[in-house]
Amino acid sequence: MESPRTDQQLQEQFRHKVGLAEMLKGGVIMDVTNAEQAKIAEEAGAVAVMALERIPSDIRKMGGIARMSNPGMISEIQKAVSIPVMAKARIGHFAEAQILEALGVDFIDESEVLTPADNQNHIYKHDFKVPFVCGCRNLGEALRRIGEGAAMMRTKGEAGSGDIVEAVTHMREVTEGIRRLQMMRKDEMMAEAKRLGAPYRVLVETAELGKLPVPNFAAGGIATPADAALMMQLGAESVFVGSGIFASEDPAPRAKAIVDAVTFFDDPAKLVEVSMTLGEAMKGRAVNEMDESEKMAGRGW
Amino acid sequence: MKPVGLLTLQGDYEKHRQAFAALGHPTRNVRRPNELDDVSCLVIPGGESTTLSRLIDRTGLREPLREFAASHPVMGTCAGLIMMARELDGEAPADFGVAPLGLLDCTVRRNGYGRQIDSFTAEVAAGPLLGDDDPFSAVFIRAPRIVDVGPAAEVVADLDGEPVAVRSGSLLGLTFHPELTDDLRIQRAFLDLV
């Protein structure tokens, strides 16, 4: 697992990382805390699972320091399912990321759901062979993470809230930022890079493509098939569901319904069909009633 | 000619769309059985085979896909090949619920090269598929392995002697992802089957 030495090797490695992100498109990535939940997720049709000791809504309740999950627990989940297994490292905690890479996880989420380990720096993700996903609230943040080597972006939303409002805000921020770039002349782009605090070359590439150069998924507050369909229609290429499934009263049918809703996100009749028999969604907490200190999205920059 | 069908249940179908668009061929999404009527051929994209298999059943596409394949060209890449295979090898319990369509006479092992950190790019020899001897730079992502090829299928690309693509009539399955590179020779070869 040594670092690539030439630009060409680096590009090839990055293509493999983005390649896996491409394979997860149009799918649902579910948070699971044990092998049994992982099997429920796989059976429902999840494209990947995120292995963590507590779902975000429980991390909120418990308080204390949230760290990388126990490798033994992640390993149990790797044995239980055949789909990709992701795990979270704290922002800036590259040693946790090294451990997760050595464990053979398929994707690392450098996540604001865990307590940050570095108030200045995120992980330099090009150093790793394993791909990373990172959260963002706006275009500048997304481009900074891609500049560091993230192979997938997701909205931060507000994890564990069950409230979709922040994910919507962040997705709209990113797409609006890209639309603005596309209307710019070449000679205005350096000033925009300065304004956003974004790496110039990634910004120009984004302007040319009309989308982020890596897949852009939604996360943070998705609790229902309708939430998933909303995020897909706003431009998300897949969705992460954290607490939304296993904090609900009907995890297995809800997991399946959200998978179907992502495939048929633009077909209201189908959304009716998949939502019809579901029970109560997670209770959740409204983000606008939260104290600033309770919010996770402000972690990282 | 009708458009190229893309099975858009889940996976990297946008990459396939871009590749056919670069060749000037329109594509059409297929998520429902009746949508197969409007396409000349079908691509089953890369993605997660556990997800694809379940969605094929939930959408009622299993039998319509088999009928379509009896008279139309179909290309599967990676998870698409897994879905086209006759059978899967070496997995328990119950292949994690992946039920292949049985279109190609070969046995496939999911994640046969390991986990994501084992993903790689390699030059493959694809003379029988492409009609030329220039190697094809192939991207393998958590790729399946073809562990057995039956008499009804023919190996059309290999990596150091190991099969990485098989064809049976106008049905084509690849363990790698031609849609992730700019070399469009494989898409051209597939369109020649249409």
pLDDT beyond 90 at B91: no
Omega cis (within 30) before B93? yes
- CB atoms A25 and B11 under 8 Å: yes
* Residues whose CB falls within 8 Å of the CB of residue A151, separated by 6 or more in sequence, listed in order: A14, A17, A18, A20, A21, A125, A131, A132, A133, A214
pLDDT beyond 80 at A186: yes
> For residues A240 and A222, is the Cβ–Cβ distance under 8 A?
yes
Helices (H), chain A: 7-23, 35-44, 56-62, 71-80, 94-103, 139-148, 165-182, 189-196, 200-209, 225-233, 243-246, 251-263, 268-275
| Measured distance CA(A159)–CA(B159) in Å, rounded | 44
| Measured distance CA(A116)–CA(A111) in Å, rounded | 8
Residues of B in contact with A257 (CB under 8 A): none
pLDDT beyond 70 at A2: no
Phi–psi pair at A56, nearest 5 degrees:
-55, -35
Q: Measured between alpha carbons, how far is residue B60 from residues A27, A129, A257, B132, B185 in Å?
A: 19, 39, 16, 40, 33
Mutation choice for A interface testing from B29, B77, B117 by most A CBs within 10 A: B117
How many angstroms from the chain centroid is the CA of residue B18? 16
User: What is the average pLDDT value for chain A, to the nearest integer?
Assistant: 95
pLDDT beyond 60 at B92: no
Could you give the count of Cα atoms lying within 13 Å of A69 in the half-sphere of its Cβ?
Answer: 30
Q: Measured between alpha carbons, how far is residue A142 from residues A175, A206, A220, B190 in Å?
A: 11, 11, 16, 37
- The pTM (predicted TM-score) of the whole model is 0.96
Q: Scanning the structure block, which residue is given the tokens 């590009």?
A: A11
- CB atoms B51 and A130 under 8 Å: no
Per-residue pLDDT, averaged over B123-135, amounts to 95
Categorize the per-residue pLDDT at A6 as very low, low, confident or very high, splitting at 50, 70 and 90: confident
What domain range includes position B47? Answer: 4-192
pLDDT beyond 50 at A1: no
pLDDT beyond 50 at B148: yes
Query: Å from B107 to nearest chain A CA?
Result: 18
Interface of B with A (CB under 8 A): 8-15, 31, 46-48, 50-51, 54-55, 58-59, 78-79, 91, 96-98, 110-111, 115-117, 119-121, 139, 141-142, 177, 180
pLDDT value of residue B1: 87
Tell me the pLDDT tens digit for each residue of B156-184.
Answer: 999 999 999 999 999 999 999 999 999 99
pLDDT value of residue A112: 96
* Residues whose CB falls within 8 Å of the CB of residue A41, separated by 6 or more in sequence, listed in order: A30, A32, A49, A81, A83, A245, A255
* Residues whose CB falls within 8 Å of the CB of residue B154, separated by 6 or more in sequence, listed in order: B128, B166, B167, B168
Per-residue pLDDT, averaged over B178-192, amounts to 97
Number of other CB atoms surrounding residue B34 within 10 Å? 8
Residue B181 has what DSSP assignment? S
How many domains does one find in chain B? Answer: 1
Dihedral (CA of B61, B62, B64, B65) sign: positive
Per-residue pLDDT, averaged over B186-191, amounts to 97
Tell me the pLDDT tens digit for each residue of A69-109.
Answer: 999 999 999 999 999 999 999 999 999 999 999 999 999 99
Task: Report ipTM (2 d.p.).
Answer: 0.95
Query: Where on the phi/psi map is residue A258: left (φ > 0), alpha (ψ -120 to 50), or beta?
Result: alpha
Q: What is the CATH number of the domain that holds B20?
A: 3.40.50.880
Share of chain B above pLDDT 70, in %: 97
Per-residue pLDDT, averaged over A141-153, amounts to 98
pLDDT value of residue A3: 62
Query: Å from B28 to nearest chain A CA?
Result: 15
> For residues B152 and B89, is the Cβ–Cβ distance under 8 A?
no
> For residues A134 and A122, is the Cβ–Cβ distance under 8 A?
yes
Residues of B in contact with A26 (CB under 8 A): 8-11, 13, 47
Catalytic site includes residue A270? no
* Catalytic-labelled residue, pool B41, B78, B91, B106: B78
Least confident of A51-55, B60-64, B102-106: A51-55
A260-270 b/e (C-beta count within 10 Å ≥ 16 → b)? bbbbbbebeeb
Least confident of A143-147, A171-175, A207-211, A281-285: A281-285
pLDDT beyond 50 at A67: yes
Per-residue pLDDT, averaged over A217-223, amounts to 97
